[in-house]
Amino acid sequence: MSDVSAVKAALKSQVIETPSWGYGNSGTRFKVFAQAGVPRDPYEKLADAAQVHRYTGVAPKVSLHIPWDRVEDYPALTRHAQDLGLRIGTINSNVFQDDDFKLGSVTHPDPTVRRKAVDHLLECVDIMDATGSPDLKLWFSDGTNYPGQDSITGRQDRLSEALAEVYERLGEDQRMLLEYKLFEPAFYTTDVPDWGTSYAHCLKLGPKAKVVVDTGHHAPGTNIEFIVAFLLREGKLGAFDFNSRFYADDDLMAGAADPFQLFRIMHEVVAGGGLEARTDVNFMLDQCHNIEAKIPAVIRSVTNVQEATAKALLIDTDALAAAQRAGDVLAANGVLMDAYNTDVRPLLAELREEIGLDRDPFGAYLASGNQERIAVDRVGGEQAGWGA
C-alpha cells in the first residue's frame, strides 16, 4: 500500500487505547519512585488520558483496572470520560493482589478462593455493562514457584472451569481477551505461559474468546510477529498490550527497545488485515513509566506505534510479493527495509496538521504547561499506583 492518501486514511482510523494505570506510579520490587502530579483517582487518570488524546488524536479509549479504578458510580465515570472526548475501553481484572491469592486465584487448590476469584471476574463483566466496555481482559498471575508445589494438570482443569463460567456471562457484543505471560510473578510454572495455552483455551470457549499478545511476555528469542501472523490467520488475535523490553517484562515505552521488531509486528498486522475493522484487533498500551514523566511517555509510545504502522503501510506490497515469489531473498528483504528506513515523521506531522493537531504532539504537550499545572494542583491525597 504505497498510495499516500490510503496510508494516511489507515493511520487516521487506527485507535490506540491507553491504560489508566500508566498514568499512576509504578516501579520494580525494589522501589516505586513517586512523581509529582500523578493522579489520585480514576477521574484524574482520565484527565491525563484526555491530554494524550488531545495531542495525538488517536487515543480516545482508556483501559480500566479493577479494583484500582473502582468507583461508586460507573455511569458517572463513563460520562466523565465522554465529556473529555474519551470512552471506556477494556476492563482489566485483578486477581493477584488479595492475600487470599498467594497460591493462585482461579487455579487455587482451595475452591473457596477460586469462587472469590471468579466472582471478581463476574463483577468485571458487570462493570463492562455499566461502562459500555467491549472487552474483558484476563491476566492471571497464577502459577507456582517450586516443582511439585501443585498439579499442572489440576490447575488447567480449574482454569478451564473458571473461564467457561465467565464466558457464559458475557453479553452478545462482549469479548474475553486472554493474556499469556512466560513468568513473573510465578517463577516455576505459570498457568497461561504462552500463546499456545491461551489459544487452546480460547478455541474451546468460542468465538468471543481471543488471545492478547503482550509484547513483553515471551521467552528470549521468541518471534512475536510469527505469533501475530498465526493468530490473525486463525481469527484469534484479540488485542495487543504494547510495551518494550530488553530483558524480561520490562514494560518500557513501546518501540523504545526494538523499533524494528515493532515494525515487523505492524507489518504482519497490516498483511493479515489487522488494521481493518472486521478483524477487531485492539491496540492497547500496557507500560510502566517508572522513571520518566508519564503523560509525555504515553504520547511518545503512541507516536512510536504510529510510526511503525506508517512504515508498515508504506511497504511496496507488490514488489514484496514478486520478490518472494521469485525467491529473491535480498530483494524481498530490501523492499521491507526500504519502508523501515524511511523517515515517516514528516508524513505523520502532515497528517496531524490535516486533522487540526500540532505537528509535534510531544513538543506541543510539553509547551502546554499541563505538566507543571498538575504538579501544582495535585498535591495531597494518595497518588494512584498499582496498589490503589
Query: Which of 3, 12, 13, 33 is close enough to bind its own copies by CB under 8 A?
Result: 33
CA distance 367 to 264: 33
Q: Would you count residue 161 as binding its own copies (CB under 8 A)? A: no
Query: Which of 169, 230, 280, 364 is close enough to bind its own copies by CB under 8 A?
Result: 230
Query: Which of 119, 161, 223, 353 is close enough to bind its own copies by CB under 8 A?
Result: 223
Nearer to its own copies among residue 131 and residue 287 (C-beta): 287
Number of residues that bind its own copies (CB under 8 A): 105
Rounded to 5°, angle at Cα 284 from 282 and 285 = 170
Nearer to its own copies among residue 88 and residue 297 (C-beta): 297
Nearer to its own copies among residue 77 and residue 205 (C-beta): 205
Nearer to its own copies among residue 212 and residue 252 (C-beta): 252
C-alpha grid cell for residue 223?
Answer: 518471534
Q: Would you count residue 213 as binding its own copies (CB under 8 A)? A: no
Nearer to its own copies among residue 54 and residue 245 (C-beta): 245
Question: Which residues inside 122-151 make contact with its own copies, applying CB under 8 A?
Answer: 141, 145-151
The contact pattern for its own copies, residues 348-367, with x = CB under 8 A and - = no contact, is --------------x-----
Q: Would you count residue 13 as binding its own copies (CB under 8 A)? A: no
Q: What share of the chain is helix, strand, coil (3-state, %, to 5)?
A: 50, 15, 40
Q: Would you count residue 308 as binding its own copies (CB under 8 A)? A: no
Give me the least distance between CB of 86 and its own copies, in Å please: 23
Q: Would you count residue 375 as binding its own copies (CB under 8 A)? A: no
Nearer to its own copies among residue 81 and residue 305 (C-beta): 305
Q: Is the peptide bond before 67 cis (omega within 30 degrees of 0)?
A: yes
Please name every residue paired with 240 in a beta bridge, in sequence order, or none if there are none.
213, 283
Nearer to its own copies among residue 130 and residue 366 (C-beta): 366
Q: Look at the alpha carbons of 388, 189, 106, 19 in this order and tell me if their dihedral is positive or negative.
A: positive
Give me the least distance between CB of 365 and its own copies, in Å please: 11
> In the block, which residue shows the cell 508519564?
294
Question: Which residues inside 105-124 make contact with its own copies, applying CB under 8 A?
Answer: 109-110
Question: Which residues inside 36-95 make contact with its own copies, applying CB under 8 A?
Answer: none
Report whether 48 contacts 295 (CB < 8 A).
yes
Q: Would you count residue 250 as binding its own copies (CB under 8 A)? A: yes
DSSP string, 249-304: S--BPTTSS-HHHHHHHHHHHHHTTTTSGGG--EEEE----SSS-HHHHHHHHHHH
- The torsion region of residue 143 among left (phi > 0), alpha (psi -120 to 50) and beta comes to left
Parallel, antiparallel or unpaired: strands 143-144 and 189-190: antiparallel
Q: How far is CA 263 from the centre of its chain?
A: 16
Candidate segments 46-54, 64-72, 78-86, 293-301, binder of its own copies by CB under 8 A: 293-301
C-alpha grid cell for residue 173?
Answer: 457484543
CB atoms within 10 A of CB 206: 12
